[in-house]
Amino acid sequence: MADESYPAELRYYKEHDWVRVEGDEAVFGITWYAQDALGEIVYVDLPEDGPVTGGATYGELESVKAVSDVYAPVGGEIVAVNELLADQPETVNNDPYGDGWLIRVRLADPSELDELMDADAYKALLEDA
């Protein structure tokens, strides 16, 4: 399992999701905190394509403990899904900010990113929880 971290270059959503912006696209995943709370992830259910709406669910992660929804921090159109997770869902636990990414979207409204937290604000959210 990965060590606790919250990379400064990412943006964070209150439901414990992260966003990495790459041009007009963004990569989504779950934070170290989220994967730790879930425990060992054994199944990932993600859409293959279509739109996602900021704040809405777009898939599920199943662990040995529970099934948890994943939320889109911002809206867009899915352009890629991490196919590795179909056979190796534990990659989300082992590398939540790298190979454990979930989906890539073409951003619908880049200004939505301004509503997300930076790493310091996200860590403060965790401390207040």
Mean pLDDT by 10 residues, the chain (129 residues): 91 98 96 96 96 97 95 98 97 97 97 97 94
Closest CA to 68 of 93, 94, 101, 45: 45
- pLDDT of res. 81: 98
- What topology does CATH give the domain 11-128? OB fold (Dihydrolipoamide Acetyltransferase, E2P) (2.40.50)
Asked whether the whole model's pTM tops 0.75, one would answer: yes
- pLDDT of res. 108: 96
Structural contact between residues 116 and 6, judged by C-beta atoms closer than 8 angstroms:
no
- pLDDT of res. 54: 96
- pLDDT of res. 2: 77
Structural contact between residues 36 and 4, judged by C-beta atoms closer than 8 angstroms:
yes
- pLDDT of res. 112: 96
Q: From the CA atom positions of the chain, what is the Rg in Å?
A: 13
Rounded distance between C-alpha atoms, residue 3 and residue 1, angstroms = 7
Residue spans of the domains in the chain: they are: 11-128
Rounded distance between C-alpha atoms, residue 106 and residue 25, angstroms = 4
Retrieve residue 104's tokens: 């890539």
- pLDDT of res. 113: 97
